Amino acid sequence: MQPEGYEKKGEEGKVYKLNKALYGLRQAPRAWNNKLNQILCELQFKKCSKEPSVYRKLEEGELLIVAVYVGDLFVTGTNRKMIKEFKDNMSSKFDMSDLGKLTYYLGIEVCQYENGISLVQRSYASKILEEDGMDKCNPVQTPMELGLKLSKAEHEKEIDATRFRRNIGCLRYLLHTRPDLSYSVGVLSRFMQSPRESHGAAMKQVLRYLRGSISYGLTFERSSLKVPKLIGYRDSSYESDPDDGKSTTGHIFYLGESPITWSSQKQDTVALSSCEAEFMAGTEAARQAIWLQDLLSEIMDQPSERVTILIDNQSAIALTRNLIAVEHVPGEKQKADILTKALGRIKFKEMREFIDHHQESEVATERPEPGA
């Protein structure tokens, strides 16, 4: 149909036939990226080899970092003058809008204050509950019942697959600031093809938990160290999937006291022992640790300390020592435990506070005003 406002009287039924990508729809993103890369290189920025969407510029000991997301640029650095100069240079080359301090982006609310930054997805979480009619439900204290092991349950009655898939898609985006939901949402994601009644009940439990923790998020506090120490936690659960016998791997990495990346996923192969499952989990965590270490070293332009990963299995530690620095941590202090299994109410709350002990204070109650 003809675009609104551009209808031609008497010929409303005529439109252009698109024989090829008119406006370069297939090549436009690449052309834009090449142009942006050229401009940033002219401004003496260097593209990170470990993360192509991040550019850095070091000038007289001052660091400027630019992160690119499609047509948006996030700028941060150690010198306000450098940031202003960069904005002026970019404005002279592109038609750009300066939105000031980052406060809201793609459903993530960003609160910047003197001692750090908090990230929450309160509005997005509320929208998920409203669309599913769960905005007035009774909350629960854990997203999954203790010891619950879901299977394909082909003997059960099927439920509305479209609604189930929509909820999974929305919840997966919520995981950007909610590692406490990673395991439960990851397990439910395995049954999108043919969801059954037990899967629907588990989904309802997740939404009820979300209702009672809608204001939870992450807090990143300012560090006194120039380069905070990078440390990881890694855990696995043996034969957690009753359908194929595969185990679940979970790891979470902290920069100083702040969680920066986490993962909860089913292993690719069937482990023959708990030690093998632990070792495969350690290998995945080691790969992530090496990438993070190299990225941090490249951005800061200085060697970073070898990453330490805390493991609660002695045999896995013995197998992994030749890859990275590993240390033993008691199971009750294993911060990745929440990413590999359903926990009881007290244990879950304890593990959630381990992940980010600021969740229930500043983020969950009173947020600082943006830009404060």
Domains and CATH numbers, the chain: 28-100 (3.30.310), 102-222+358-372 (no CATH), 227-341 (3.30.420.10)
Region 287-313: what's the mean pLDDT?
87
Counting residues of the chain whose pLDDT is more than 90, the rounded percentage is 45
Q: What is the SS3 assignment for 207?
A: helix
pLDDT over threshold 70, residue 130: yes
pLDDT surpasses 50 at 369: no
Burial 137-146 (b: 16+ CB within 10 A, else e): eeebebbbee
Smallest CA-to-CA distance from 274 within 242, 244, 245 is with 245
What pLDDT, on a 0 to 100 scale, did the predictor assign at position 279?
A: 82
What mean pLDDT comes out for the span 168-173? 95
Would you say residue 131 has pLDDT above 80?
Answer: yes
What mean pLDDT do residues 178-197 have?
A: 94
Beta bridge partners of 59: 62
Mean pLDDT comparison of 13-22, 155-164, 239-248, 344-353, highest-scoring range: 155-164
pLDDT-based confidence at residue 225 (cuts at 50, 70, 90): confident
* Model pTM score: 0.78
Is the predicted pLDDT of residue 371 greater than 70, yes or no? no
- Interior angle at CA 122, CA 121 and CA 127, nearest 5: 100
Residue 60 scores a pLDDT above 50: yes
Which of these ranges, 38-47, 164-173, 357-366, has the smallest mean pLDDT?
357-366
Instruction: Give the residues across from 231 on adjacent strands.
Output: 254, 308
Separation CA 162–CA 298 (nearest Å): 44
How is 97-143 classified by DSSP, letter by letter? Answer: ----S--EETTEEEEEETTEEEEE-HHHHHHHHHHTT-TTSPP-S-S
For the residues 7-22, what does the mean pLDDT come to?
A: 78
Using DSSP's 3-state secondary structure scheme, residue 325 falls into: strand
Q: Is the pLDDT of residue 58 over 70?
A: yes
Please check whether residue 207 is in contact with residue 137, taking contact to mean a CB–CB distance below 8 angstroms: yes
Q: Please state whether 80 falls in left (phi above 0), alpha (psi between -120 and 50) or beta.
A: alpha
Runs of H (alpha helix) within the chain: 28-42, 80-93, 122-131, 161-174, 182-188, 197-212, 274-300, 314-320, 345-355
pLDDT given for residue 260 in this prediction: 92
